């Protein structure tokens, strides 16, 4: 197993070994935002790499993309370009040539000293509903006799979210105000949401897009994916319950969506590919445009996803966050490729930097539920926190932490970093 001359990349517990090298955008007190790569507990400045000639073996277009303040230009160049850049970085950070090491050492920053930013200018954001366990569990709460709508097994369901309210991990989330209607009330009321929730999701960025009017075939779909991150689609369940019919989510979900800052490439995740979700014998086959033998064989990613929670009282008493759920992206009914293909099937032009979300990732067990709505059965079965606190939904001061990682014997652990957010009081 190849190691790096950066020792923190070899400790076996880091999210960012040499084999990961995720891309992001960072700044320090001295520098404006720029593209970087995470390696161990360090961040490598790719703008400085380009300016110092370290990337001179790459095309001028790739070098210029590395000097941009966001990843869009690199995304636009497609998978071939990002793979070439990643290959050179593997060589520079792994083989320890004396000249390269002396140059690179000067342009490394400690991860604890940098500020992370959104990795791209996100022109559009679409959120899917790709977990059949989540869809079924939520359906049972609202439609016990008919939990799963008849179109679910034929079509990747999604809605267009709000790109302007996407925030980076660590940003505070103010409790939203909105209309809600109690079951025994004659009229709705306006005020702070009392059923604030998280949604554990995987986000993925579009690299090279498609021309408007042209579809993306299923066998080409993954070539349009630049990389993955963690995504928290914060949701106000009481606002959602009142407003969602007939057109679906609106103000209940567009007040904040949080992302982890590092984008993990498909190349880094290649050792952790797995067969797509095994459909039941009674389930229909995907329609031909969504059907691919290669996608069935390895369309899933064996990605473990965790939710950790820390209340304000826990932090004040020096108690560590507790893990409240653990699931897997293998439980998604629809694959990333199917979501991309369906999105573009009507000629919709996806663009570099567009963000797609999987929707809440839940598994078959209660402790693999990806949101409190499922876990607490709409508040009927509260969860217990240390010190006697209980939670039906999130309270002010609660901090939600997502973590994600891939593990397989014979390969280094590939992590995603964290996606954090603290609930702030409503205005």
- Give a three-class secondary structure readout of the chain: CCCCCCHHHHCCCCCCCCCCCCEEEEECCCCCCEEEEEECCEEEEHHHHHHCCCCCCCCHHHHHHHCCCCCHHHHHCCHHHHHHHHHHHHHHHHHCCHHHHHHHHCCEEEHHHCEEECCCCCCCEEEECCEHHHHHHHHHHHCCCCCCCCCCCCCCCEEECCHHHEEECCCCEECCEEEECCCCCCCCEEEECCCEECCEEEEEEECCCCCCCCCCCHHHHHHHEEEEEEEECCEEHHHHHHHCCCCCCCCCCCCCEEECCCEEEHHHHHHHEECCCCCCCCCCCCCHHHCCHHHHHHCEECCEEEEEEECHHHHHCCCCCEEEEEEEHHHECCCHHHHHHHHHCCCCCCCCCCEEECCCCCCCCHHHCCCHHHHCCCCCCCEECHHHCEECCCCCCCEEEEEEEECCCCCCCEEEEEEEEEEECCC
The answer to whether 187 is a known catalytic residue is: no
- Which one of 117, 134, 342, 343 is the catalytic residue? 134
Catalytic residues: 134
């Amino acid at each position: 197993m190849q190691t790096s001359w950066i020792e923190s990349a070899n400790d076996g517990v880091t999210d960012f070994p040499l084999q990961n090298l995720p891309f992001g955008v960072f700044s320090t007190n001295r520098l404006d935002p720029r593209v970087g790569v995470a390696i161990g507990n360090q961040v490598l400045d790719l703008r400085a790499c380009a300016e110092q000639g370290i990337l001179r073996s790459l095309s001028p277009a790739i070098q210029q993309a590395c000097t941009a303040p966001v990843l869009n230009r690199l995304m636009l160049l497609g998978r071939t370009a990002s793979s070439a850049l990643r290959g050179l970085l593997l060589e520079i950070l792994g083989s320890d040539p004396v000249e390269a090491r002396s140059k690179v050492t000067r342009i490394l920053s400690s991860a604890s000293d940098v500020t992370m930013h959104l990795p791209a200018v996100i022109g559009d954001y679409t959120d899917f509903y790709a977990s059949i366990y989540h869809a079924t569990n939520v359906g049972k709460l609202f439609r016990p006799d008919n939990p799963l709508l008849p179109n679910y097994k034929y079509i990747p369901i999604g809605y267009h979210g709000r790109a302007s309210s996407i925030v980076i991990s660590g940003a505070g989330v103010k409790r939203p105000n909105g209309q809600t209607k109690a079951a025994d009330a004659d009229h709705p009321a306006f005020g702070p949401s009392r059923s604030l929730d998280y949604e554990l999701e995987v986000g993925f960025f579009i690299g090279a897009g498609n021309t408007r009017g042209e579809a993306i075939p299923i066998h080409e779909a993954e070539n349009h994916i630049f990389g993955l991150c963690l995504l928290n689609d914060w949701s106000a369940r009481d606002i959602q319950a009142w407003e969602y019919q007939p057109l679906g989510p609106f103000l209940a979900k567009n007040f904040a969506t949080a992302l982890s800052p590092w984008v993990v490439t498909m190349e880094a995740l290649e050792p952790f590919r797995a067969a797509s979700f095994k459909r039941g014998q009674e389930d229909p086959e995907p329609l031909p445009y969504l059907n691919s033998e290669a996608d069935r064989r390895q369309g899933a990613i064996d990605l473990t996803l965790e939710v950790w929670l820390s209340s304000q009282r826990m932090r004040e008493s020096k108690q560590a966050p507790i893990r409240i759920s653990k699931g897997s992206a293998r439980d998604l009914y629809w694959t990333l490729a199917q979501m991309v293909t369906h999105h573009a099937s009507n000629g919709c032009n996806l663009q570099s930097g567009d963000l797609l979300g999987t929707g809440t990732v839940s598994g078959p067990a209660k402790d693999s539920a990806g949101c409190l709505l499922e876990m607490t059965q709409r508040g009927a079965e509260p969860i217990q926190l240390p010190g006697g606190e209980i939670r039906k939904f999130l309270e002010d001061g609660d901090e939600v932490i997502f973590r994600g990682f891939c593990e397989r014997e014979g390969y280094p652990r590939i992590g995603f970093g964290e996606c954090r957010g603290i609930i702030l009081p409503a205005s």
